[in-house]
Amino acid sequence: MPRLLLLILIWVPSMSLAAPYSIVIHGGAGTILRDKMSADVESDYRRVLSSAVKAGHAVLAQGGTSDDAVIKAILVLEDSPLFNAGHGAVFTHEGTVELDASIMRGDDLNAGAVTGVKRVRNPILLAQQVMLNSPHVMLMGQGAEDFAKLQGLELVDNSYFHTERRRRQLQRVIDSNQAVAASEDSSDEFEVQKFSTVGAVALDQQGNITAGTSTGGMTNKRYGRIGDSPVIGAGTYADNQACGISATGHGEYFIRAAVAHDICARVKYQGIDLRTAADAVINDKLIQLGGDGGIIGIDPKGNVVYTFNTPGMYRASIDTSGHLDVQIFR
């Protein structure tokens, strides 16, 4: 009996020392209203969000890296036609799809990004390869696709990304003489205005934070327009000493405000908590500029934050206690 008691006393403390880990994802922010979304569409979104966050969390639970967890979650979102990233991304004015993505890790501040790619099936994988296997941070267009070939990534015809729903959306925007579609919309067919991103932020058991973001940009975009998603410090940022951030919204404003970096800098240098820092940037600074959107974030303790100044944001998380949270509306 004394020997058994000794074993219990040794074993129990070891269990309590398990390092925290958590993950949070988003699928875009905007005018997402409950009364404009059918029950079936809402169910579809909740199902994919849940699948994506669970896929990333499974990596963390097995002791995997935050890099791999973020990639795993974003791949689910890129492969779903529901979100503006990968398959199902929005059209440019010319009727093609151009994709952007970025990833950053907080231990060494290494990062990779791609923009304007048209044939890479999963842009987040290419961003990861830029981070891991090149001396650069951002590659664009044909050069990025040439690099993708060298890394053995899957290339597809641009038609792989096309969906009829997005084509109807482009036509509506053109017919309404809008320059671009600049907000998320919750109608069942998503034919009005919709741009967004997908993203994920994770903290692993080694204490490392990684953030990643992927997007098709704005409907009807022209002239090689690039938003915040591939811009490190605007749409994506991670620092183990502060936080990890993935953003979604009107990219031009997020670039001007350096949203992702600004939030992390406030946490790091002002000593304020992540929620307070995010609220100051998203609900004050960004609004003053005229921008809308939101962020997801995680701090070094694994605390999860969603902050947005729009009626809704597709989002999900699994916190340090293992609690699953999937939300769409405010």
What percentage of residues in the chain have a pLDDT greater than 90? Answer: 86
The residues facing 295 across adjacent strands are: 247, 307
pLDDT value at 178 more than 90: no
pLDDT in tens, 122-132: 999 999 999 99
pLDDT value of residue 68: 98
d(CA 232, CA 211): 10
- What size, in residues, is the chain? 330
CB 102 within 8 A of CB 111: yes
Radius of gyration, CA atoms only, the chain: 20
| CA distances in angstroms from 172 to 50, 55, 180, 195, listed in the order given | 31, 35, 11, 14
pLDDT value at 6 more than 50: no
Q: Model confidence at 29, in pLDDT bands (50, 70, 90)?
A: very high
pLDDT value of residue 16: 45
pLDDT value of residue 180: 57
| Residues recognised as catalytic | 197
pLDDT value of residue 18: 78
Q: Model confidence at 55, in pLDDT bands (50, 70, 90)?
A: very high
pLDDT value of residue 190: 42
Q: Model confidence at 204, in pLDDT bands (50, 70, 90)?
A: very high
pLDDT in tens, 95-112: 999 999 999 999 999 999
Q: Angle at Cα 247 formed by Cα 219 and Cα 40, nearest 5°?
A: 65
Task: Give the mean model confidence (pLDDT) for residues 24-44.
Answer: 94
Q: At what angle do helices 123-133 and 141-150 cross, to 10 degrees?
A: 80
pLDDT in tens, 73-90: 999 999 999 999 999 999
Could you tell me the domains of the chain? Answer: 24-329 (3.60.20.30)
The residues facing 25 across adjacent strands are: 200, 316
pLDDT value at 195 more than 50: no
pLDDT in tens, 238-260: 999 999 999 999 999 999 999 99
pLDDT value of residue 167: 95
pLDDT value of residue 192: 36
Question: What is the full DSSP assignment across 72-104?
Answer: HHHHHHHTSTTSSSSTTPPPBTTS---EEEEEE
Task: Give the mean model confidence (pLDDT) for residues 26-42.
Answer: 93
Which range (1-15, 30-44, 63-77) has the least confidence?
A: 1-15
pLDDT value of residue 10: 44
